[in-house]
Amino acid sequence: MFTHLQTHSCYSLLYGVRPVDEMVDAAAARGYGALALTDINNLYGMHDFTEACSRRGVRPVIGVEFRTDDARALVLARDRRGFSRLTRLTSARMREAGFGLSAALAECSDGLVVISDTPALLAGLNGRVEALYAMVTPHSRRAEREARRLGIPLAACGDVSFLSEDDHHVHRVLRAIAARGPLSSMRDEDCAPPGSSLFGPEDADRIFGGIPDAIASTEKIAGMCSFDGSFEGFVFPPAPAGGLVPGEALRCAALRGAERRYGELSESVMERLEYELSIIEGKGFSSYFLSVAGIVARSSLTCGRGSAAASIVAYSLGITNVDPLRHHLYFERFLNPERRDPPDIDVDFAWDERDALIESVFREYGSGHAARVSTMVHFQARSALRETARAYGIPAEEIGAVGRRLTAPRVSGAAPCDGRTWDEIMRVARRITGLPRHLSVHVGGIVLTPGPVDELAPVETANDGSTLLAWDKDGTEKAGLVKIDLLGNRSLAVVRDALLNLRENGVDIDPFTWEPLTDAQTQRLLARGDSIGVFYVESPAMRQLQKKTGRGDFEHLVIHSSIIRPAANRFIAEYVRRLKGKEYAPLHPRLDRILAETYGIMCYQEDVSKVAVALAGFSDADADGLRKILTKKNREERLAAYRERFYEGALQGGVEAAVIDEIWSMIRSFGGYSFCKAHSASYAMVSFQSAYLKAHHPAEFMAAVISNGGGYYSSGAYISEARRMGLSVLAPDVNESSLRYRGRGREIRVGLMAVAGLSSPTLCAVLETRERTGPFGSPEDFVARVAPGEGDIVALAGAGAFDGLFCGERRGIQLRTLLRLLAERGDARSPGDTPALFAPEAPRRTLCRRAALSMEDLHVEFRRLGFLCGHHPLELWRDALTGLSRAMGRDLPGLVGKRVRLAGWPVTRKEILTARGDAMEFVSFEDETAIYETVLFPDEYRAYSRVLDELRPYVIEGTVEEDQGATSLTVKSIRPLPGVKVPAPARREPGPWDTARYRSPFGGG
């Protein structure tokens, strides 16, 4: 019987149109018992393919269709050795500019089947490749004559890319997207032929009539290919050099580290250490721990994330910073004898140190033994619409306008009508949505291998030149490769920079002996929810929760950072009530102990597993499977199977159906993302460190927050927060500012990095010149020593950076003077420009009053900085606010139940869907006195959400409500505050300090 040996899925990027499982489903439905997936030049879809095949009972044949400028060949893996050869070939195809298919196949084709329709290739490989076939397809028999002449057997190939007639049009759009050309000019030779659909076995006889031998070959070839894509065992990093075997080396390192952490080792510590070490060694993870410890040792400040934070070995090695004994963290969630998948260790590093760190790891292990994990970027609804519309020639502005309208949450049933062309674009875009677009680098995943990595997996070269695995993290895991996640974290840089800023100001805090957890002032700040800028607890929802609970201790913060999940609102409300003393009975007596510390509510990921074991009799491995599936994207089908088993097991255990329903709905609330306790504890430690700094050293802390690009809010919102904290925000100044924001006492000096339009070379010149030859004494001195460009002068003057140098002169006059100086300098510069005869005049440093800023000056400052140093941005609407009767944000708690009017600048917005599927929105506004939270219920959302799209202040009316001590405004109406439209802040030219590749001037790492 005929077997399809040439099938392209959507992983033939911007070519194939169908997901792998649809191809497999279609093949199974047509009665095929085996199917080959041969995507063009890659193996991206291999894991999806083998999984789909095992679900549908189809035998997978794994291969690649190699295409080069002058040749094409299908290469199929017969066995594991052939697969290694295939990954090497695929890697070479993707990485080597001069890749020659014929030479590569001639060199080695052990374990492979080669099928080609390129006559020259067939002639070249004849006699050198054991299993060589000539390809005939429904569209081409060009190799037939040459094959007959050389005596090479024929193989019938379907050249399949489609499943339905409409697929061809979608394919042409994808080809146009790939070519960045108009759809109307796509040539036939750039596209698959229209009839490239998956045909049934009965059609094969008709299509390949007259060459039954070609059909017979397909079955024979499929039979030869026994490799089914499954892998056995884990691939760990190579053991570090040194005399000891990995197990011994780890034991020594762990004991040494534990002594550093605990001093004298108690019995409980020793017991836990021994227990963990035995499991780690038993599962072969010793070298992995040592590798991670070696990487972590290179950095100043790290934060272990994920379940690894529950390990005392990791804590001893400095990989994590939370004592698992003190905080009752369970090692089994990380590693247990039953666990079949490789658990990985994830570590956070300061965001600006991470790339350099990864580079150093690559240098140590060699790029042949180290690779970054990739992530496949898929078309999202918006990008599919944009790319399709571009292929149809629609200008960007129009695409943006239509896209915004279409992708806004559904506000009414009426479909927007934009004509036939847009109807067609939308139809195609819907088809394209979800298809893979291109391979990208995963943020922090790397694998280290003892042997050459390209024999284990296909690799490519990332844009930065590093080796990139052509599989994403799931594919990497399926192939047994144990990855290490090195992730960037801005808050670690915030803590680092604040500590360094403090040291400059004469305050020394040693991160290793620092004990913020017990600090009362820190706990009070957290209990008030005054945590803007504080790692992980600064979002409006989190701050509201802190306010409602009034708890700022570590144990509760760990609970709060876990319980805040999109799907857990109902349980959060119940949690707050129980915390405040509401009586409750455990869901089931068997869960009493498990959920005691979280008030009977499932909070951590491991609670899911524990409950499944205790209530439904799951094995540890199955319970872990249930926990994992909850976080996957396409979980519904598999989750349904778990649900059935859960109900069955619990009923058998005598649990009432109503109780099971309640528990299952709590389990469902872990869908999407959720955390284990160890992870939350590890993060809560960083929260405490940042909260401590905010409580005790607000200027240094807020300066570090803004310098590192903030977190949840914009720079402007942090500036407002700083002002509300009673800090003065000083304008950038060519003599006083550093690159970054700096804090001292009650003042924050804006860094030169904030000035939009200031070029990096001039910025560096300002800092270096000042460092080398002292502060600038006059505008003349500045122009002469820095030699700025005209744009730099305009940017700095607009931001107020010359106010100090000009002693109270208006900014327009400052600019005129500087531009004159610049022009004179340009005229004076001539060949042989001689050095000045006299030393620059002595710095003129007088304290001067800042000139009153005109409204125009304020607008310019806002454009340059994105905020105003001396005022809230509402100042720009001074005229419109005069005479408006309004309440102030800080007074809302005293106005509960009243209808009020406020002015507000939108700070953050969060759209959600109600249980009935209607869109609603939470919007945080700020006025001169406070940030306040508002709610737009579906009716108001429909009426006013779009009004909020502009960057400007609004007048908001509504009723003040209170819930458990947190106030919010239920919006009745919103209108823009009339007045000038403020130009959007200018785009700041990205400087080296904006990339993770930049090494902080504060050192570290």
Q: What are phi and psi of 390, to 5 degrees?
A: -65, -40
Residue ranges in 682-741 that form contacts with another protein under rule CB under 8 A: none
When the beta carbons of 447 and 754 are compared against another protein, the nearer one is 754
Quick check: 798 binds another protein (CB under 8 A)?
Answer: yes
Quick check: 566 binds another protein (CB under 8 A)?
Answer: no
Quick check: 829 binds another protein (CB under 8 A)?
Answer: no
Specify the stretch interacting with another protein by CB under 8 A; choose among 125-133, 431-439, 818-826, 875-883: 818-826
If DSSP states are collapsed to H, E and C, what string results for 266-325?
Answer: CHHHHHHHHHHHHHHHHCCCHHHHHHHHHHHCCCCCEEEEHHHHHCHHHHHCCCCCCCCC
* DSSP strand pairing (132-136 vs 459-461): unpaired
When the beta carbons of 313 and 858 are compared against another protein, the nearer one is 858
Quick check: 398 binds another protein (CB under 8 A)?
Answer: yes
Could you say which of 209, 243, 263, 395 contacts another protein (CB under 8 A)?
395
Distance separating alpha carbons of residues 581 and 592, to the nearest angstrom: 17
Shortest CB 868 distance to another protein, Å:
16
Quick check: 145 binds another protein (CB under 8 A)?
Answer: no
Size of the site for another protein (CB under 8 A): 37
Quick check: 860 binds another protein (CB under 8 A)?
Answer: yes
Shortest CB 791 distance to another protein, Å:
11
Q: Which of 246, 443, 261 is nearest to 354 (CA)?
A: 443
Q: What are phi and psi of 6, to 5 degrees?
A: -135, 100
Specify the stretch interacting with another protein by CB under 8 A; choose among 13-21, 498-506, 805-813, 958-966: 805-813
When the beta carbons of 224 and 787 are compared against another protein, the nearer one is 787
- 999 DSSP 8-state letter: P
Specify the stretch interacting with another protein by CB under 8 A; choose among 77-85, 162-170, 689-697, 817-825: 817-825
- How far from each other are the two terminal CA atoms of the chain, in whole angstroms? 63
Shortest CB 400 distance to another protein, Å:
11
Instruction: Print the binding letters for residues 772-791 with another protein: x by CB under 8 A, - otherwise.
Output: ------------------x-
Classify residue 209 by burial, with Cβ atoms within 10 Å: 0-12, 13-18, 19+: exposed
Quick check: 988 binds another protein (CB under 8 A)?
Answer: no
When the beta carbons of 153 and 181 are compared against another protein, the nearer one is 181
Determine the Cα angle at 771 with ends 768 and 772, to 5°: 85
DSSP bridge partners of 959: 899, 970
* Lookup: tokens for 900: 């009020």
Quick check: 797 binds another protein (CB under 8 A)?
Answer: yes
Q: How many CB atoms neighbour CB 88 within 10 A?
A: 18
Distance separating alpha carbons of residues 303 and 313, to the nearest angstrom: 15
Specify the stretch interacting with another protein by CB under 8 A; choose among 174-182, 624-632, 698-706, 745-753: 174-182
* b (16+ CB within 10 A) / e for 466-476: bbbbbbbbebb
Quick check: 813 binds another protein (CB under 8 A)?
Answer: yes
Strands ordered across the beta sheet of 747-749: 728-730, 747-749, 742-744
E strands within 846-918?
Answer: 899-913
Distance separating alpha carbons of residues 134 and 36, to the nearest angstrom: 17
When the beta carbons of 639 and 853 are compared against another protein, the nearer one is 853
* DSSP strand pairing (966-976 vs 954-963): antiparallel
Distance separating alpha carbons of residues 598 and 576, to the nearest angstrom: 11
* Lookup: tokens for 654: 């005598």
Shortest CB 806 distance to another protein, Å:
14
Specify the stretch interacting with another protein by CB under 8 A; choose among 5-13, 347-355, 392-400, 436-444: 392-400
Quick check: 393 binds another protein (CB under 8 A)?
Answer: yes
* Lookup: tokens for 775: 């502060």
* Lookup: tokens for 724: 């509300």
Quick check: 949 binds another protein (CB under 8 A)?
Answer: no
Classify residue 659 by burial, with Cβ atoms within 10 Å: 0-12, 13-18, 19+: middle
Shortest CB 821 distance to another protein, Å:
8
Residue ranges in 410-449 that form contacts with another protein under rule CB under 8 A: 417-421
Q: How far is CA 321 from the centre of its chain?
A: 23
Quick check: 823 binds another protein (CB under 8 A)?
Answer: yes
Distance separating alpha carbons of residues 269 and 254, to the nearest angstrom: 11
* b (16+ CB within 10 A) / e for 431-445: bbbebbbebebbebb
Determine the Cα angle at 50 with ends 40 and 455, to 5°: 65
When the beta carbons of 187 and 633 are compared against another protein, the nearer one is 187
Place of tokens 């190939």: 157
Distance separating alpha carbons of residues 129 and 517, to the nearest angstrom: 68
When the beta carbons of 427 and 570 are compared against another protein, the nearer one is 427
Could you say which of 37, 43, 279, 391 contacts another protein (CB under 8 A)?
391
Shortest CB 730 distance to another protein, Å:
22
Place of tokens 């993870």: 285
Specify the stretch interacting with another protein by CB under 8 A; choose among 68-76, 649-657, 742-750, 812-820: 812-820
Q: How far is CA 545 from the centre of its chain?
A: 25
Residue ranges in 175-234 that form contacts with another protein under rule CB under 8 A: 180-182, 184-185
Shortest CB 395 distance to another protein, Å:
3
Quick check: 277 binds another protein (CB under 8 A)?
Answer: no
Specify the stretch interacting with another protein by CB under 8 A; choose among 246-254, 397-405, 700-708, 891-899: 397-405
Quick check: 820 binds another protein (CB under 8 A)?
Answer: yes
Specify the stretch interacting with another protein by CB under 8 A; choose among 278-286, 615-623, 804-812, 993-1001: 804-812
Q: What are phi and psi of 925, to 5 degrees?
A: -115, 160
When the beta carbons of 424 and 891 are compared against another protein, the nearer one is 424
Report, in angstroms and rounded to the nearest whole number, the Rg of the chain calculated over CA atoms: 32
Shortest CB 799 distance to another protein, Å:
11
Quick check: 377 binds another protein (CB under 8 A)?
Answer: no
17, 10 Cβ separation under 8 angstroms: yes
When the beta carbons of 498 and 876 are compared against another protein, the nearer one is 876
Quick check: 648 binds another protein (CB under 8 A)?
Answer: no
When the beta carbons of 395 and 726 are compared against another protein, the nearer one is 395
When the beta carbons of 312 and 425 are compared against another protein, the nearer one is 425
When the beta carbons of 427 and 820 are compared against another protein, the nearer one is 820
When the beta carbons of 401 and 596 are compared against another protein, the nearer one is 401
Quick check: 31 binds another protein (CB under 8 A)?
Answer: no
Distance separating alpha carbons of residues 751 and 310, to the nearest angstrom: 40
Shortest CB 826 distance to another protein, Å:
9
Shortest CB 392 distance to another protein, Å:
8
Classify residue 229 by burial, with Cβ atoms within 10 Å: 0-12, 13-18, 19+: buried
Quick check: 392 binds another protein (CB under 8 A)?
Answer: yes
Quick check: 151 binds another protein (CB under 8 A)?
Answer: no
Place of tokens 């974290």: 489
When the beta carbons of 648 and 824 are compared against another protein, the nearer one is 824
Shortest CB 181 distance to another protein, Å:
6
If DSSP states are collapsed to H, E and C, what string results for 227-282?
Answer: CCCCCCCCECCCCCCCCCCHHHHHHHHHHHHHHHHHCCCCHHHHHHHHHHHHHHHH
When the beta carbons of 851 and 895 are compared against another protein, the nearer one is 851
Q: Can you give the binding site for another protein, defined by CB under 8 A?
A: 180-182, 184-185, 390-398, 401, 417-421, 790, 794, 797-798, 810-813, 815-816, 819-820, 822-824, 856, 860
